[in-house]
Amino acid sequence: MKKLLTCFFAMLGLTSACGQQNYEDVDVQQFAALVSDTDVVVLDVRTAGEFREGYIDRAINIDVKQGDFLQKAKATLPADRKIAVYCRSGRRSANACRQLAAEGYQVVNLKGGIMAWTGSQMPVKVEE
């Protein structure tokens, strides 16, 4: 019985450790303050087509759905700077944040994505 309880508590500890978030989620106002700092890198992880429809100023576009996302990100993003990440609704960017944080990047995710950003009347740029 003692071994069974020990095993149970060990597994419980592993599942809670795996569930920990290794990045920060912020709202639109916090994200706006963050990206106003030119030392912060802005990363848009949507598709190229979505990016062309409108993006946050200074954003770099690397599609998280592409198989080479992590390789491109590591080749492009400086490891010593904070990365502000967003997508359309916040799901893809959360995935990108998990991957980047696992590689040692300090990342922040925009809750609600660019939908929340534009819904708060924040500016976007459009490719011409």
Reduced to 3 states (helix: H, G, I; strand: E, B; else coil), residue 41 is strand
Catalytic residue among 7, 18, 87, 97: 87
Identity of the amino acid at 75? A
Q: Verify whether residue 18 is a known catalytic residue.
A: no
Question: CA-CA distance, 119 to 128, in Å (whole number)?
Answer: 22
Give the CA dihedral 48, 39, 78, 59, nearest 10 degrees. Answer: 0
Q: Are 101 and 22 in contact (CB under 8 A)?
A: yes
Q: List all residues 6 or more positions away from 55 whose beta carbon is below 8 Å from its beta carbon.
A: 44, 61, 114, 124, 125, 126
Catalytic positions, please? 87
